[in-house]
Amino acid sequence: MASKIFYLLLCFFARIHTSLSASKEVNLMESVPDLQKSMYVVIDGFPCVRLLNLTGEIGCSNPGREKVIAPIVRFKNADKLGKLSAILMSLHEFDNFFHRVSNDLNFARNVGGVLVESGTEIQNELKGFSPDEKFPQAEFSPYRNTSYQWNPFGSGIKRNNYNFPVFLLSESSTPTLKEAAIKNEGNEKASTLDVAEFDLVMQTTRTGTRNSESCLKEGTCLPLGGYSVWSALPPMNILSSESSKHIILAVASMDSASFFRDKNLGADSPISGLISLLVAVDALSRVEGLDKLGKQLVFIIFTGEAWGYLGSRRFLHELDQHSDAVSGLNSTLIDTVFEIGSVGKGFSHGTKSFFAHTTQVSAATNETLNALQLAQDSLQSSGIKISTANALNPGIPPSSLMAFMRKNSQTSGVVLEDFDSVFTNQFYYSHLDDLSNINSSAIVAAASLVARTLYILANDNKDFDTSALKSINVNASLVEELMGCLLNCEPGLSCGLVNHYISPTTTCPSNYAGVLLGEPSSTPYPGYIGNVPRFLWNFLADKTSISLENAGFSCPKNCSETNQLCIRSEADGKGVCVLSTTRYVPAYSTRLKFESESWKVLAPNSSDPLGMVDPVWTESNWDVIGLRMYTKQDASYDRLVLLAGLTVTILAYLAIEIVRSLISKALKQD
């Protein structure tokens, strides 16, 4: 009897061993990452992050120190949230959702996170979408009518504080989350639900530093900013004791600001203006005799303009301080500021239409308007029309020129835009302001207009050869190339033009200003400078340069004379030495000072009116940002499984005791 029972047990364990061996390849995980991959689906997305100023916070963050885990539900089916939920919504529902969050606290407290869908047809379906204000950055306006609505589609959502994570889903991830939400709706009583796990823990939230001054003091944030770039054509002799020429300052911006940090192209506003200026510089660089013109052309491309005009305000401050970053420039010699704003939508019914917004009636302003008219006349066959903006407008639109006017109300300037009284860009400062939102023909036309206008202005009202003016033609293919490099992931920053000058760290461009790393400098460490500013510095230094015949291959060592610069060193490791007046200018708040390896907020100064209203924007640090999805069992189901497990354990123990007793009796009988 005992031998028979022993034989049966032996067969039983042998069968288990065979079964385990057969399924070894299926069940054996080689590593913890393999196990995680089988459990979790990593979701591609673009986060809204936490930003701070002197009075508080805006943007998004997990509410505490832990990840947020919540079942996925669709907003249209979430009239009442009975528990913490991850809300999936389309952009059509975006404004309504955030309006409800602001007005329904019971609803808001059960919002665990937000997932915003992406789609290729969304621009055609929406009349407009702009999370910025109706008068962007009105506090910096040089005039009093700050209730004017330049941006009629502005909702102001971007300027609010949300204590829950928000992600814009990629186009590839959107169907996955939709499927999960629909599955959850069909399995409301099931034991499992698909949940989203949000990892958007900001250090400022973790440490309780809720404004810029406290977070800078504790080192949990960094100031918004970066590096602007300026260049002179032709190069300036900064050591000359002769009186310098008066300056025509051509201005553009390189940064935008959407609700989502890394989905930030700003195709029309402001990159269309940037591309126009770059193409105009390229055209002017091929003109002979610029050194004989009466005035000096200076180009400057600001960053940080979307956050309190950081670039232009810091530039003006550096001019006052006569710093190395602006060596060779004198603010008293700037005759006029000619800014190229949003020009990518200036195309209607075959006509390229642009509007000149002016500061005030002055001789310099009239000269700029006359130059624009002469440039238009010389381009008659191109179908370009330039008009003066409506006199009923309260003043110039939101632009860098505002900072110049607040610094000096007598500043003469003109802003070239593709709109008259309100923005034509219905996606202003949103992630939808992408390549599909602009027209390359409009940018080519604007570049042509800018190049010839600048040439006329630099001529200083002297008679000029009309044939010389008509010979200034822009490279239309360069417009297309720059659009592909700066506004698309394919080819993006891996395009041939960018790679001719630098080795970019990423492929997909993002025109968010970012944060300023390290100590501000006119010769910053390249690793602290973004891809786009580095490209612009090299491009402008090249186009405005005079080549040196005896330049060596290892130009960083042999390129040490005044105004000698080494360009393209990133691209080929050797570089080329050229003679050029091209500089980096740090862009950060005038209320900040870097000392002893940390940032300090300066007290307001009544002599700096813009500093008095400066928010001092900073961005919270973080360790990891992530979003993933997995299937989670209901807690009651888990308790049931635990109870079943305990029951099986008890029954197994009883079975063992019974078998042991039977074996013991059988052995005694033998």
For the stretch 487-507, pLDDT in tens is 999 999 999 999 999 999 999
Residue 612: CA count within 13 A, CB half-sphere: 8
- Using DSSP bridges, classify how beta strands 226-233 and 247-253 pair: parallel, antiparallel or unpaired: unpaired
Q: What sign has the CA pseudo-torsion 200, 202, 208, 213? A: negative
Span 125-143, pLDDT tens digits: 899 999 999 999 999 999 9
pLDDT mean across residues, the chain: 89
Span 463-489, pLDDT tens digits: 777 888 889 999 999 999 999 999 999
Angle at 303 between CA 424 and CA 167, to 5 degrees: 70
Tell me if 627 sits within 8 A of 167, measured CB to CB.
Answer: yes
Measure the CA–CA gap between 556 and 621, rounded to whole angstroms.
34
Instruction: Report pLDDT for 30.
Output: 64
Residue 636 has pLDDT above 70, yes or no: no
Position 241 confidence tier, pLDDT thresholds 50, 70, 90: very low
- The pTM for the full model equals 0.90
Residue 639 has pLDDT above 80, yes or no: no
Span 392-406, pLDDT tens digits: 999 999 999 999 999
Instruction: Report pLDDT for 25.
Output: 41
Q: Which of 273, 84, 366, 321 is nearest to 197 (CA)?
A: 84
Residue 285 has pLDDT above 70, yes or no: yes
Residue with tokens 């903006």: 389
Span 518-569, pLDDT tens digits: 999 999 999 999 999 999 999 999 999 987 765 545 676 667 777 889 999 8
Instruction: Report pLDDT for 130.
Output: 96
Q: Which of 165, 185, 290, 174 is nearest to 236 (CA)?
A: 290
Span 420-431, pLDDT tens digits: 999 999 999 999
Instruction: Report pLDDT for 550.
Output: 58
Instruction: Report pLDDT for 122.
Output: 85
| Mean pLDDT within 369-383 | 90
Position 35 confidence tier, pLDDT thresholds 50, 70, 90: low
Q: Who wins on pLDDT, 624 or 609? A: 624
Residue 61: CA count within 13 A, CB half-sphere: 26
Residue 638 has pLDDT above 80, yes or no: no
DSSP state of 44: -
- 238 SS3 class: coil
Position 33 confidence tier, pLDDT thresholds 50, 70, 90: low
Instruction: Report pLDDT for 611.
Output: 85
Tell me if 569 sits within 8 A of 557, measured CB to CB.
Answer: no
Instruction: Report pLDDT for 5.
Output: 41
Instruction: Report pLDDT for 289.
Output: 86
Structure tokens at 651: 């029954």
Contacts of 219 (CB under 8 A, 6+ apart): 598, 621
| Mean pLDDT within 148-169 | 96
14-39: string of b/e by CB count within 10 Å (b at 16+)?
eeeeeeeeeeeeeeeeeeeeeeeeee
